[in-house]
Amino acid sequence: MIRLRAFGDTAVDFTFLIGQALTNGLIIGLLYLLMAIGFTLVFGVMRVVNFAHGEFYMLGAFSAYVCVTKLQLPFLAAVLATFILTLVLGWIIEVVVMKGFRGEELNGMIATIGLAMILQNGALMIFGPDPQSMPAVAEGVVSLGPVMLPMSRLYVVAFSLVVLVLLYGFLMHSKGGRALRAVVQDIEIANAQGIRSQFMYPLGFGIGVALAAVAGALMAPVFSVSPSIGSTPLLKAFIVVILGGLGSIPGAALAALLLGVFESVANPFMSSSFSDMLLFGFVILMLIFRPSGLLGKAGR
Amino acid sequence: MKKIAIAGLLCLAGTAFAQEELKIGAIVTLSGAGAAWGQAMLYATELAADDVNAKGGLDVGGKKYKVKVVPYDDKYQAGEAVTAANRLVFEDKVKYIIGPVGSAAALAVTPIVDKNKVVMLTLGFTDKALGKDKAFNFRPNLTTMETSQPQINWIVKAKNIKKVGGLFPNDETGQQIAQDLEKAYSKAGAQLNAKEFFERERVDMMPLLTRMMAKGIDAIELDGNAPGTAGLIVKQARELGFKGFIIRSGGPATPEIVNVAGNGAANGMLVNTPINPANTAVKAYSDRYFAKYKKRMNGFSPAFYDGTHMLLQAMSAAGTTTDTDKVRVALENIKDFKGILGTLNWTGAEVYGAAHQISAPFYIARVQDGQEVIEATCSLTECK
């Protein structure tokens, strides 16, 4: 076993450190990915930065919490119910609230800030401020040598992958998905081709926020559930889409995994405040020198 | 006509019997990770107010005052606390404030309350919350400063602990507590050799825990973390296979930690607690708390219940609710107050420069199936 003396006079188990950090990073990266894809999808369709995205993560977590602890549903059913409920809710919100702001970046952004406040304070009134805990989906750990993989997180990975595969299938190989991508790429041409964009706006918004809600539902048993949990995932989604390129789904995927791994691997070697500074420094550099992101297209 | 006349008479009668109102402001955290403490303080104040209101109000200089609590949520943020303090002092015109919860918030509102001579009972753990120049700040709860040394001496010796890791929020509270604990552990013969600071909103602790565990620690210290966050740390540390001790040297949060981490993960945790389950007065208070708010009582609550009663008694003794200079002196002069926690006195003249710090007994407990089992009883000098 390799031992490293890089922390003053404290010996450190290096294999454990790197292995554990990498696996943590991939797991967290998948969460960021679910958040960021929904975020970038909403932006792609509506041209609106959705500040309420984190609140849908929170709603998803509460929905899973209620389904599992109060209604005694199995976890899979809870995630499915969460997806459908938030898809419908997102659809309704798009038609009722966001319709007037389609394509208006500034007004739309302010509307979503208002929406975020309403959702968060609504949750505060209904559920109260206390963090709630959900039973883990699975107990125990799998150990690969010194690396510990908690079963609860492995489940999250499996579920996230399934959701991502389903989403990929929908976007790439279904009529609705192709239409949605066409709207994201160029709304006027899409209209000219006979795509009913009036139908695509609520669909895009609904799927986008439902993905955030699924991320929340998957993470609820791993973390805790309270009305204020949405802000951190929103911030991460921001970072991911800035790095990956706003509106670019492959860019978001790449950036989310990179972010997760960077956070986890950087932390063992430097203090967490310093790694946060470094990360935001990198985001600023990215904005200055490559504002379109890793895989985004320039000039949009 | 008759009806109007009767209504008029009723109004007159109403005003004739109306009590004066005494407003007590509360700057407390009601949302987010620190909510358990904010609620504990607010509910304590409200229950103390209920006590005096049930007796027809607080008797000050022959007049009866109905006590009303005016709460604002500071979201555990100094900025929000300042907004709340300005509203309480200048719009609600309160002369007494319970709160804030956090150290940063306590320091941020101190200039406002001191300038306007508002008596403040804060929870803030920083040693800067009290001082010679902060004449109106009082602290009715014990902090790490008071409890950590005797408690850590006992735990290090009894459980044979050498290396300790600690995770702390990256703000005034966290930095201060980390510094205090580092000194306390080295005095006790152990070492706090892994310290991690993180932003308060953080929920994924695994990278930080990984780094700490790689250093081969025997124990994780949770002091300084909000209850919800502490619960996440316990849950994730056990998920990562951490087998050592988990210690919480201050800040009662056992019900919340158990709630988030689950019974299994929380078992065996060693916690500081201001409450002895054998204390019947606190038991009765806790039942009353649950009956009214449908929540398990947080351990900070009795201290603020006693603190609010001391404040109210000081007003009665001073014979005024408006001249806070007199009330402050009356509060300082309270000796051997019989609270539900036991006999309470003010201390802290040597440490802080002002005897505005409560002195009360406290305990070390082991968590077993979500309940605290007392392992040692402590005074400010030693644990047995």
CATH number at residue B216: 3.40.50.2300
Of B17, B41, B19, nearest to B30 (Cα)?
B41
Q: How far is A263 from chain B (nearest CA, A)?
A: 8
Q: For helices A14-46 and A53-65, give the axis angle rounded to 10 degrees.
A: 110
Per-residue confidence at A300, pLDDT binned at 50, 70, 90? very low
Same domain? B136 vs B285: yes
Higher pLDDT pick, A243 / B9? A243
Please report whether residue A295 resides in a domain: no
Specify the pLDDT at position A5: 37
CA angle at residue B330 from B326 to B333, to 5 degrees? Answer: 140
Specify the pLDDT at position A297: 64
Which residue range(s) make up the domain with A85? 25-289
- Top mean pLDDT of B147-151, B215-219, B251-255, B325-329 is at B325-329
Q: Which of B210, B212, B298 to mutate to test the interface with A (most CBs of A within 10 A)?
A: B210
Please report whether residue A3 resides in a domain: no
Please report whether residue A2 resides in a domain: no
Q: How far is B162 from chain A (nearest CA, A)?
A: 13
pLDDT(B195) > 50 = yes
From B202, B213, B227, residue closest to A232, measured CB to CB: B202
Place of tokens 């009715």: B140
The contact set of B with A (CB < 8 A) is: 30-33, 35-36, 39, 170, 193-194, 196-199, 201-204, 206-208, 210-211, 213-216, 227-228, 231-232, 239-241, 256, 259-262, 295
Same domain? B211 vs B262: yes
Q: Which helix (H) or strand (E) holds B366?
A: strand B362-368
Tokens for B163, please give them. Answer: 């290396």
Please report whether residue B356 resides in a domain: no
Which residue range(s) make up the domain with B223? 144-273+363-378
Please report whether residue B384 resides in a domain: no
Over the stretch A144-184, which tens digit does the pLDDT of each residue have? 777 778 887 888 888 888 988 998 899 889 998 899 888 87
**B256/A267 touch (CB, cutoff 8 Å), yes or no:** no
Same domain? B116 vs B158: no
Please report whether residue B318 resides in a domain: yes
Q: How far is B109 from chain A (nearest CA, A)?
A: 23
**B262/A135 touch (CB, cutoff 8 Å), yes or no:** yes
**DSSP track, A111-156:** HHHHHHHHHHHHHHHHH-SS-B----SS-SEEEETTEEEEHHHHHH
Please report whether residue B354 resides in a domain: no
Amino acid at B369: D
Q: Which residue of A has its CA nearest to B242?
A: A148
Over the stretch A33-83, which tens digit does the pLDDT of each residue have? 988 988 988 888 878 889 999 999 999 999 999 999 889 999 899 999 999
Please report whether residue B59 resides in a domain: yes
Tokens for B325, please give them. Answer: 């200079």
Please report whether residue B383 resides in a domain: no
User: Is-contact A33 A253, C-beta < 8 A?
Assistant: yes
From A129, A150, A264, residue closest to B32, measured CB to CB: A129
The arithmetic mean of pLDDT across residues B168-181, rounded, is: 86
pLDDT(B152) > 50 = yes
Please report whether residue B358 resides in a domain: no
Same domain? B158 vs B222: yes
- Domain count of the fold of chain A: 1
For residue A261, give the CATH number of its domain. Answer: 1.10.3470
Q: How far is B278 from chain A (nearest CA, A)?
A: 27
Region at A81 (left for phi over 0; alpha for psi -120 to 50; beta for the rest): alpha
Q: Considering only CB atoms, which chain A residues are within 8 Å of B213?
A: 16
Please report whether residue A88 resides in a domain: yes
Same domain? B262 vs B129: no
Chain center to CA of A132: 21
Amino acid at A289: F
Same domain? B64 vs B171: no
Same domain? B13 vs B110: yes
State residue B376 phi and psi, 5-degree precision.
-155, 150
Please report whether residue A296 resides in a domain: no
The arithmetic mean of pLDDT across residues A119-143, rounded, is: 82
Place of tokens 């000081």: B314
Cα Rg of chain B (Å, integer): 22
Specify the pLDDT at position B226: 84
**A273/B35 touch (CB, cutoff 8 Å), yes or no:** no
Q: Report chain B's mean pLDDT, rounded to a whole number.
A: 89
The arithmetic mean of pLDDT across residues A238-263, rounded, is: 86
Q: How far is A227 from chain B (nearest CA, A)?
A: 7
The arithmetic mean of pLDDT across residues B38-59, rounded, is: 95
For B288, the 3-state DSSP assignment is helix
pLDDT(B161) > 70 = yes
pLDDT(A10) > 50 = no
**CB atoms < 10 A from the CB of B299, how many?**
26
Specify the pLDDT at position B2: 57
User: Is-contact B29 B76, C-beta < 8 A?
Assistant: yes
The arithmetic mean of pLDDT across residues B68-86, rounded, is: 94
Same domain? B266 vs B293: no
Same domain? B178 vs B237: yes
- Domain count of the fold of chain B: 2
The arithmetic mean of pLDDT across residues A114-125, rounded, is: 92
Please report whether residue A297 resides in a domain: no
Please report whether residue B164 resides in a domain: yes
Same domain? B245 vs B373: yes
Chain center to CA of A273: 22
Please report whether residue A45 resides in a domain: yes
Specify the pLDDT at position B18: 57
User: Is-contact B126 B173, C-beta < 8 A?
Assistant: yes
Same domain? B111 vs B197: no
CB pairs under 8 A between A and B: 119
Same domain? B369 vs B268: yes
